[in-house]
Structure 1
Amino acid sequence: MAPAYVQGPIDVPLVEETIANRLATVVAKYPDRVAVLSSKGKLTYSQIDLQSDAIAISLRDSGLRPSDRVAICIGNLAEYVVLIHACAKLGAVVVPMSTAYTEVQLVSAINHITASCLVLSTDISLPYKSPKSAHELFGGIIPKENRRNKVPSVKQLLVIDNSPSRCYRGAFPDALWFDDVLNEKSGQKFQPQTKLTPSDIINIQFTSGTTSSPKAACLTHKGLLNNAIITGNRLNLTELDVLCCVPPIYHAFALSLGVLSTMAFGCTLLLPSESFNPKAVVDSIIDHQATVIYGVPTMFLAELEEAAQRGLGSSSFSSLRTGLIAGSIVPPVLRAKLKERMNLSGLLNMYGMTELSPSVSTTCFDDDVEKHHNTVGTVLPHTEIRIVSRDDCHQTLRKGERGELLIGGYLLMKGYWEDEKRTLEALVMETGAHRGGLCPSQGPKTWLRTGDEAVIRSDGRLQITGRIKDIIIRGGENIYPSEIENLLLQHDLINGVAVVGLPDDRYGEIIAAFIIPHENALVSQHHDTSAFDLRTGSNPLPCVDSRATGTILTGEDIRCMVRSTLGKSSAPKYIFWTSKIPLTATGKTEKYKLREIGEIELRKRAEDPAVGQQAVRS
């Protein structure tokens, strides 16, 4: 079998320009085309250009210079797009902040990257929650006298008024107001004072916690812009497309492949709501005839549920032709439902990481069902992938063998902000001697260690088998949670599942499955001492004993299903029935939280076996 190494096509050269250069080209070509559609209206490319000029001038006048960091904590507003382009023109670095941050987290993140400017909206929206006042959430850093103490690097506060009614401006003293800047600087043309280059850092993305051991990836104009163009080409984007961008712009997925891809091709970016709202997504697709949609599996599941509740079939989504689904392994059953109910036969799997600008590979339109179900497709142009031993990142494996995935190419981050130690751990420098003749280029080559376990198949397609840290080692045998999860999601009575490993004295680790039953399912706990009910809120899951009939789901049902397909060693020892699974703001399962919950419940069981039959709060 050949070495586990693949290089994407290199026949079309990379673009050597800044984001501001590309915007100027698009504005000249499509000045009146709608660039952004949101619930508050629309902006043309000409308006984006004018408004970003005004904001860039104002930021420069307030003392910001190229390479200064601008922290942005707002939802998916049209103003976000303007801000990104204003920073790109000025040479300032966009640092998106999660709208789910607490004040402590926001302060820590700002101080880590020593931001010179902070951008807030008057209201902050989160999925499935009512908006909250930014002053209520972050009041400790808004007043001038306190801001100097908590975030001493911040020279300027820029505020966007997104409240339903005009907010009290006195709550934001010493602030610039976005609309005032547009009025005052209207018609003024920004003149760059410093020559910017494609290799300059334009974006810093936090990839881990902000209050303890933060990692902030530094991304360049060249990496982000080329990734946006290359991925857009894989989707066959044109100026006629309307791209429904559901993930938050503070994530690299939406910033690069949403904001920058639509700009690069002159098409329309559709922002359904400030934070994820499945009703708004469905309405936006229908009202604006969206042709492309992005999301992670949990978002698509919520959209399917919304459509089903409203009795909408595939004809309601006839405008959709393609999209990207990413963020976690995609269950085949979900792909089948999206094809049947949302007209998404052209939906492509995408694999990427924030540190990679972010897209590495996608499936293709002409891939068959097996490739869509089991792979993340082929590597994108100007990108290299290889699989190495989990114990030795210099030892390249053979195609078909599982190991750690390494990525090389233009898309790599420059490093983690002010963290040389972890940058050196993540970015591996190799010489020709290390590569063993694999790579055609001369001289040293840098690879990013992804921490993902993967396989390069004999057909060259990439298959992600899981996070290395999530692999369960049961008695020396590797168990892959994604295989169990994908199998169980095929059960008609299961709406969601996450599988983790819990400590065990005999095997080292044993398998635990957290399962969200279908709303019509009856969960039986009868004589199952390895099943736990984690009830939340006022609507606990309905339970029955083993004598009931109907749509009954038992722990033994789960184990039998896994044993019959994946073998006895993969069957979960512990079942946790739950009404929700903890997710990050971008829809990824927080498995470390599930492990914590599982360990707590096992300790309770050890102390008092009767606890296992009682309902507890998750």
Structure 2
Amino acid sequence: MGCYVKDYVLYLGETNPLEKEPLVEETIAHRLAAVVAKYPSRIAVLTGERKLTYKQVDEQSDAIANFLSDSGIRASDRVAICLGNLAEYVVVIYACVKLGAVVVPMSTAYTEVQIVSVINHITASCLVLSTDISLPYKAPKPANELFGGLVLEEERIRRTPSLKQLLVIEKTPSTHTRQIFSGAAWFHDVLKEYHGKGLKKRTMLQSSDIINIQFTSGTTSTPKAACLTHKGLLNNAILVGDRLKLTELDILCCAPPIYHAFAFSLGVFSTMAFGCALLLPSESFNPIAVIDSIIEHNATVVYGVPTMFLAELEEIDKRSLDKSAFSSLRTGLIGGSIVPPVLRAKLKEKMNLSGLLNMYGMTELSPTVCTTCLEDEIEKHHNTVGAVLPHTEIKIVSRDDCHQTLRRGERGELLIGGYLLMKGYWEDEKRTSEAFAIDNSQQTSSDEPSSARKQKVWLRTGDEAVIRPDGMLKITGRIKDIIIRGGENIYPSEIENLLLQHKLISSIAVVGLPDDRYGEIVSAFIIPHEDAVVSQSSDAIDLDSRVALKPPSGMCNQFLQNVLTGDEIRDMVRVTLGRSSAPKYIFWASQIPLTATGKTEKYKLKEIGQAALKRGLKT
């Protein structure tokens, strides 16, 4: 892959004359057909004891597509899906892809009110559910208990009038269950009824058509619906697969949920594009299942976000597993947030993941902008999110003026251009216009008359970044998360990365809380390691009485070595990063609020911290 540099910005994009491979212009359905023809008997999806070959996925998705068509669902109609990581999920996705229906994945953590809101916002024509819903670390719950108003036909018609069909995956066959889901069609009944009939009607689709609407997890409680295309998703899946050097022999263990863009594109579509196997260890994230699946099926690739990998490392320690148990692993992707170097070092040591690639992206970007490469030296893996993918353009602009492009080496907001951009947020012109920056005099055409210059569209990421002299991209944090203490910018990720090196700290999140003198003050939420004994004193705030323990007097030195204090943490930060970065407030916690995809919900932490301080819990 080549690149060329101008003095103000590094561009890697469609206009790059050094790009060798053109973008793929086919639809996802065309790519699937080619892979099925080439690898009909290879395993496409693997879940526990179930295996589906590419031919079986093709036949089953034909059956579901025919059923949807007979139900009156046409190209561009929306199909909402609320499922865990099941093989049936993959089949439904490809059925929609063949029909041209728009796949709308929904979080299994949604409440009934949220699901109804999503369905009505996108006017979905079909809803796909399972009889039981699984969430991480929790026992499955019956869908009729979670979404009772959608299960009963009369109530469903009243609350979601656009729905033409409810398609249900039956976990445990039961006459009683079928009576509860009134007016529903049953997935495996549909497979039997339409088996062997082939796709009745093929829709003429374009690569520019919207095929997926992704609700962003975001950093607020008001998610947005990003509209993604065949071209964006398929090319992104192929280009990331190239970075991972995927082949038909790979077995990719995908721990993130399929309803998130990470697994939807880089799990489902990347494995299909290269004819390899998608291994789904469990319906919802379970570190035990991930470890078991990797070992049992000799997985070669693994995906996850930092919180998932941390949970897997804890499971490995509990079992005292040796690195040799993971000898089949050769690479993987880690994304979702900035990756602490200490975590990467542990994954290399414990899971044989010296070839783990960093990934940076956003739902609105199909979703990947850049990754590190297998050949990169360790410094790049530790300090950057890698090189920009081919056919993608980036630039850094002033945080105060998105039309002021900065020079390489300067920090500012990261903007993205190219094929991977979403078409916009579904029926939300205001948010769409806010997300895009329009450049009517793009720099690459500066020698042309203004009348000949094309309008350039950039997506504003909201992330602060810097392009290094070697072309590597370094993300320094979310702009809205940067703490401005008395006019000084403080970067939470730097503090988090430092403190994660402490042997008694399991997890940490740093946020800014309001302060009368400085405007904002550094505050740290810390989950101590299970072996830690937290000092119960005035130097920190105990949010959970299960965490804080005052060490008894006269205990042995070994016990005292496991004592964790707020002052020790402040000193550690002060010595390395300076006095202003040392957290004024430290909160001991047993858990940190996360999105369903493992990202820290910092806005919630700010609310928790402010509430604690208002109650008089001051240091």
**TM-score band w.r.t. shorter chain:** over 0.9
1:261 alignment partner, SS class: helix
Distance, in Å, in 1 between the alignment partners of 2:54 and 2:299 is 18
- Quick one: which of 203, 215, 228 aligns to 1:194? 203
Distance, in Å, in 2 between the alignment partners of 1:526 and 1:201 is 56
- Quick one: which of 566, 585, 588 aligns to 2:599? 588
1:413 alignment partner, SS class: coil
Give the equivalent residue in structure 2 for 1:499.
510
1:576 alignment partner, SS class: strand
Q: Deviations over 1:559-617 (max 9, x none)?
A: 11001110011000000011111111000001011100110111111xxxxx559xxxx
Query: Which residue identity does 1:148 align to in structure 2?
Result: I
Distance, in Å, in 2 between the alignment partners of 1:320 and 1:433 is 44
- Quick one: which of 236, 244, 259 aligns to 1:250? 259
Q: Deviations over 1:32-84 (max 9, x none)?
A: 00000002410000000000000000000011010000000000000010001
Give the equivalent residue in structure 1 for 2:433.
424
Instruction: Mark the CA change 1:553 to 1:334 in structure 2 (over 3 Å): closer, same or farther.
Output: same
Instruction: Mark the CA change 1:330 to 1:167 in structure 2 (over 3 Å): closer, same or farther.
Output: farther
1:244 and 1:293 in contact (8 A); partners too = yes
- Structure 2 matches for 1:36-55, cutoff 5 A? 36-55=45-64
Distance, in Å, in 1 between the alignment partners of 2:319 and 2:176 is 35
Query: Which residue identity does 2:260 align to in structure 1?
Result: H
1:350 and 1:362 in contact (8 A); partners too = yes
* Structure 1 residue 166, shift from structure 2 partner: 7.5
| 2:474 is the alignment partner of 1:463 | yes
1:108 and 1:211 in contact (8 A); partners too = no
Give the equivalent residue in structure 1 for 2:7.
2
Where does the alignment leave 5 or more consecutive residues of structure 2 unmatched?
A: 1-5
Query: Which residue identity does 1:2 align to in structure 2?
Result: D
Q: Deviations over 1:134-156 (max 9, x none)?
A: 01100112211111111111110
Distance, in Å, in 2 between the alignment partners of 1:210 and 1:313 is 38
Query: Which residue identity does 2:137 align to in structure 1?
Result: Y
Query: Which residue identity does 1:444 align to in structure 2?
Result: Q
2:98 and 2:202 in contact (8 A); partners too = no
| 2:611 is the alignment partner of 1:600 | yes
* Structure 1 residue 525, shift from structure 2 partner: 3.2
Distance, in Å, in 2 between the alignment partners of 1:511 and 1:232 is 39
Give the equivalent residue in structure 1 for 2:497.
486
Give the equivalent residue in structure 1 for 2:584.
573
2:336 and 2:599 in contact (8 A); partners too = yes
| 2:231 is the alignment partner of 1:222 | yes
Give the equivalent residue in structure 2 for 1:608.
none
Give the equivalent residue in structure 1 for 2:178.
169
Distance, in Å, in 1 between the alignment partners of 2:553 and 2:388 is 50
1:339 alignment partner, SS class: helix
Distance, in Å, in 2 between the alignment partners of 1:484 and 1:167 is 54
1:101 alignment partner, SS class: coil
Query: Which residue identity does 2:484 align to in structure 1?
Result: I
Q: Deviations over 1:92-132 (max 9, x none)?
A: 00000000000001110111111000000000000000000
Distance, in Å, in 2 between the alignment partners of 1:278 and 1:488 is 24
Indicate the RMSD between aligned Cα atoms, in angstroms.
1.9
Q: Deviations over 1:444-500 (max 9, x none)?
A: 211100000101011110000000000000000000000000000001111110000
Distance, in Å, in 2 between the alignment partners of 1:448 and 1:182 is 41
| 2:128 is the alignment partner of 1:119 | yes
2:437 and 2:458 in contact (8 A); partners too = yes
Distance, in Å, in 2 between the alignment partners of 1:208 and 1:58 is 31
Instruction: Mark the CA change 1:458 to 1:437 in structure 2 (over 3 Å): closer, same or farther.
Output: farther
- Quick one: which of 71, 74, 77 aligns to 2:80? 71
Give the equivalent residue in structure 2 for 1:616.
none
Give the equivalent residue in structure 1 for 2:330.
321
2:402 alignment partner, SS class: strand
Distance, in Å, in 1 between the alignment partners of 2:444 and 2:584 is 43
1:432 alignment partner, SS class: coil
* Structure 1 residue 307, shift from structure 2 partner: 1.1
Q: Deviations over 1:192-238 (max 9, x none)?
A: 34310000000000015899744100000000000000000000000
Query: Which residue identity does 2:605 align to in structure 1?
Result: L
Give the equivalent residue in structure 1 for 2:214.
205
Query: Which residue identity does 1:510 align to in structure 2?
Result: I
Query: Which residue identity does 1:598 align to in structure 2?
Result: G
Where does the alignment leave 5 or more consecutive residues of structure 1 unmatched?
A: 606-610, 614-618
Q: Deviations over 1:299-332 (max 9, x none)?
A: 0011111111111111000000000000000010
2:241 and 2:270 in contact (8 A); partners too = yes
Give the equivalent residue in structure 2 for 1:563.
574
Give the equivalent residue in structure 1 for 2:549.
542
Distance, in Å, in 1 between the alignment partners of 2:93 and 2:247 is 22
1:56 and 1:90 in contact (8 A); partners too = yes
1:6 and 1:460 in contact (8 A); partners too = no
2:73 alignment partner, SS class: coil
1:525 and 1:555 in contact (8 A); partners too = no
- Structure 2 matches for 1:232-243, cutoff 5 A? 232-243=241-252
1:119 and 1:158 in contact (8 A); partners too = yes
Q: Deviations over 1:10-42 (max 9, x none)?
A: 221001101110010000000000000002410
* Structure 1 residue 546, shift from structure 2 partner: 8.9
Distance, in Å, in 2 between the alignment partners of 1:211 and 1:568 is 30
Deviates more, 1:167-176 or 1:395-404: 167-176
* Structure 1 residue 540, shift from structure 2 partner: 3.6
Taking structure 1 as the reference length, what is the TM-score of the superposition?
Answer: 0.95
1:541 and 1:579 in contact (8 A); partners too = no
Distance, in Å, in 2 between the alignment partners of 1:210 and 1:372 is 26
- Quick one: which of 419, 441, 444 aligns to 1:410? 419
Instruction: Mark the CA change 1:342 to 1:211 in structure 2 (over 3 Å): closer, same or farther.
Output: closer
1:543 alignment partner, SS class: coil
Identity, % of aligned pairs? Answer: 72
2:219 and 2:602 in contact (8 A); partners too = no
1:245 and 1:269 in contact (8 A); partners too = yes
Distance, in Å, in 1 between the alignment partners of 2:601 and 2:583 is 19
2:220 and 2:603 in contact (8 A); partners too = no
Query: Which residue identity does 2:475 align to in structure 1?
Result: I
Taking structure 2 as the reference length, what is the TM-score of the superposition?
Answer: 0.95
1:168 alignment partner, SS class: helix
* Structure 1 residue 5, shift from structure 2 partner: 2.8
Give the equivalent residue in structure 2 for 1:384.
393
Distance, in Å, in 1 between the alignment partners of 2:86 and 2:383 is 35
2:543 alignment partner, SS class: strand
